[in-house]
Structure 1
Amino acid sequence: MGLIIKKAAKLKMDKFYDNFYFEKMLDTSNEWIVKRTGIEKRFFSEKPLSQMAEEAAENLKLTDEEKKKIRLLIVSTVGGDFIVPSLAAILQGRLGLEKEILAFDLNIACTGFVGGTILAESYLRAGEYALVIGAEKLSNFTNFKDRTTAIIFADGAGACLYEKSKEKFYKDLGTISDEKFLTLKSDEGYLKMEGREVFRFATSVMPKSIEKVLKRADQKIDLFILHQANERIINFIEKKIPGNYYSNIKNYANTSSASIAMALADLYEKDSLRGKNILLAGFGGGLTYGTCIVRGENEIR
């Protein structure tokens, strides 16, 4: 079995902060940030996370027929508006979805959207739909006096409507327990990251995971979409495994589990997913990683 991307959309953003914003408060520069990360600007939202996620999903413009076919709603996030209820439970009502669905939040940090995609494929039966959303308001947890994290993290939300197909599904995922390199403690309130260690993790684990999936699938990959953590990580993996890689980190920075969903949305808007085999790969806190292959719908919109 496999998954087909029916639709993808993202939150509309209107207030961006370029790198010069941080020159006023941190020992950094636009040139340094671009060189080290590839980031040129990012978005910080003034809306609650639930509203961000809702607007991303609303931008899918789901029909009544599509809503009736949804059997699963997963929202990947590191922090919702409430501990209870979940963002997914809130959105089930706001989006007018059927009551007979499973809806829950998933927290595996930046790997979350890929993890949600893999769970969706496992849960659905052929012809059923899943709505998987990545939504993060990392500005709530960012110490803007910490150069290590302030320049990297940002806010965003993306949503994807999947249909279960009869095609084979190829995946790889794992967890390497760590409590030091990327953390957000409940009693501290700020994200902390050891950038060098996360870079080492990503560049050692992700090529192996991607190669494992490619070997199992033995099919042409038209498009690689990695978690948008750092342009240097993406470039490193591309050199190891050549292909057509999409990156939008320069416009959005690191939005954790929202990044892959937002990349899919950008490409869907350009009609650049249709009929393509797409490899998704995420990595992040936990430390966790996940890789899978999905396909863009063949039908012309």
Structure 2
Amino acid sequence: MADIARGTGAPPIPVSVLGTGSHVPSLVITNDDVGAEAGVTDEWIVRKTGIHERRYGKGDEATSDLAAAAARAALEDAGVSVADLSLIIVATSTPDSPQPPTATVVADLLQAPSTAAAFDLNSVCSGFVYALTAAASMIAGGGHALVIGADMYSRITDPTDPRTRVLWGDGAGAVVLGPATGRRALTATRLLTHTEGRELIQVPAGGTRLGTTAETLAEGLHYFAMNGRGVKEMVYATLPEALRTFLDDAGVDAAELAHIVPHQANAVMLAELHESLRFPRARMHTTVTEYGNTGAASIPLTLDAAARQGALQPGEKVLLCAFGGGFNFGFALMEW
């Protein structure tokens, strides 16, 4: 368990979210499009997932392209020059390539200064909150950080697998962190890992445990694989209690929450989870119905959508709630 603020009365993290941004590819993929190859119907996909469409990157687009576009939007919203950045973190589990880090490609696309450290962070769908936590700690003494969540799962899902292909879309979201301004303050985070669930979500081949061979390619072991039922059971069994403990330690009553921005895993699952959490005032924000599950991008993309719609008002408490492969959880509290 990792925290950067815990316990009632813990001092606020001295950073604020200065701006938000997001980007999705222009290519719209309907349920009929993915269902044709996966052998399922639009009705089946909507009933199981609540998803109606998603976006896919074109053949010449990579994760870094989506990340850089979201980054530019966040920098513009923040009124911060790329020259002022001291840190760039890209949370992704679908990098451009194993090496170099996708963050260094993004830094090059943005023409960031060499004084801005750039690195990737892989915590799958919890990656953005993990990166946010790391960045807040690293710039607590000053500076500006660009924190990006970006994924292109269209490149690693099996077109014929209805359990995974219908869920995923491509996208990126970003925030700029900087010195506390009195608004949009990041006040607490918590990171948790339940290793007993580490095999629920995986890409079995392509690493050092199981390399690339003709056999692994023939067996489709380079595709993303997920035990959907196991993931749901893990989230339902562990997330509510962990979240209540986090809020208690942060000195925040559930009734104070005005907004929840969760990982956009599945619209049906999120509706059930929202009901079970019983937060009396909190509005749950979603983009999953139109963009699908965008991995590490889903929380910052959805946060940006809510911010640009004017849904978040000054002083309101916002909860970011992530869960993903590992099995990892990440929570963050903001006072907008």
Q: Residue 250 of structure 2 corresponds to which residue in structure 1?
A: 217
Q: For residue 26 of structure 1, what is the amino acid of its counterpart?
A: A
User: Any idea what SS the aligned residue of 1:169 has?
Assistant: strand
User: Any idea what SS the aligned residue of 2:177 has?
Assistant: strand
Offset, 1:52: 1.4
1:263 to 288, 302, 305: 302
User: Any idea what SS the aligned residue of 1:56 has?
Assistant: helix
Change (3 A) 1:94 1:27: closer
User: Any idea what SS the aligned residue of 2:173 has?
Assistant: strand
Q: For residue 286 of structure 1, what is the amino acid of its counterpart?
A: G
1:149 to 158, 161, 164: 164
Change (3 A) 1:24 1:213: same
Q: Which moved more, 1:58-67 or 1:173-182?
A: 58-67
Which ranges of structure 1 fall in alignment gaps of 5 or more residues? Answer: 297-301
2:48 to 33, 36, 58: 36
Q: Residue 184 of structure 1 corresponds to which residue in structure 2?
A: 203
Alignment of structure 1 residues 1-301 onto 2, 5 Å: 1-2=12-13, 3-46=15-58, 47-62=61-76, 65-125=80-140, 127-165=142-180, 169-177=187-195, 178-185=197-204, 186=206, 187=212, 188-219=221-252, 220-241=256-277, 242=279, 243-275=282-314, 276-296=316-336
Change (3 A) 1:102 1:111: same
Q: For residue 22 of structure 1, what is the amino acid of its counterpart?
A: V
Mapped to 1, the partners of 2:80 and 2:36 lie a distance apart of 51
User: Any idea what SS the aligned residue of 2:334 has?
Assistant: strand
Mapped to 2, the partners of 1:13 and 1:70 lie a distance apart of 26
- Is contact 1:278–1:293 with CA below 8 Å preserved after alignment? yes
Offset, 1:217: 2.5
Offset, 1:286: 0.8
User: Any idea what SS the aligned residue of 1:170 has?
Assistant: strand
User: Any idea what SS the aligned residue of 2:175 has?
Assistant: strand
Q: Residue 299 of structure 1 corresponds to which residue in structure 2?
A: none
Q: For residue 93 of structure 1, what is the amino acid of its counterpart?
A: D
**TM-score where L is the length of structure 1:** 0.91
**TM-score where L is the length of structure 2:** 0.82
Change (3 A) 1:150 1:159: same
Mapped to 2, the partners of 1:102 and 1:61 lie a distance apart of 17
- Is contact 1:173–1:209 with CA below 8 Å preserved after alignment? no
Which ranges of structure 2 fall in alignment gaps of 5 or more residues? Answer: 1-11, 207-211, 213-220
- Is contact 1:7–1:268 with CA below 8 Å preserved after alignment? no
Offset, 1:212: 1.7
Cα deviation code 1:65-91 (max 9, x no counterpart): 543442221101112112222111122
Cα deviation code 1:143-183 (max 9, x no counterpart): 01111101111111111112243867322211122443111
Offset, 1:274: 4.4
Offset, 1:22: 3.0
Q: Which moved more, 1:142-151 or 1:25-34?
A: 25-34
The structure with the largest alpha-carbon Rg is 2
- Is contact 2:83–2:112 with CA below 8 Å preserved after alignment? yes
Change (3 A) 1:237 1:123: same
Q: For residue 110 of structure 2, what is the amino acid of its counterpart?
A: L
- Is contact 1:10–1:57 with CA below 8 Å preserved after alignment? yes
- Is contact 1:279–1:293 with CA below 8 Å preserved after alignment? yes
- Is contact 2:68–2:109 with CA below 8 Å preserved after alignment? yes
- Is contact 1:223–1:245 with CA below 8 Å preserved after alignment? yes
The RMSD of aligned alpha carbons is 2.0
Q: For residue 248 of structure 2, what is the amino acid of its counterpart?
A: K
For these two proteins, the number of residue pairs brought into alignment is 296
Mapped to 2, the partners of 1:38 and 1:55 lie a distance apart of 27
Change (3 A) 1:66 1:273: farther
Cα deviation code 1:107-141 (max 9, x no counterpart): 01000001111111211125532111011111110
Mapped to 1, the partners of 2:164 and 2:108 lie a distance apart of 35
Change (3 A) 1:295 1:126: farther
Mapped to 2, the partners of 1:99 and 1:274 lie a distance apart of 36
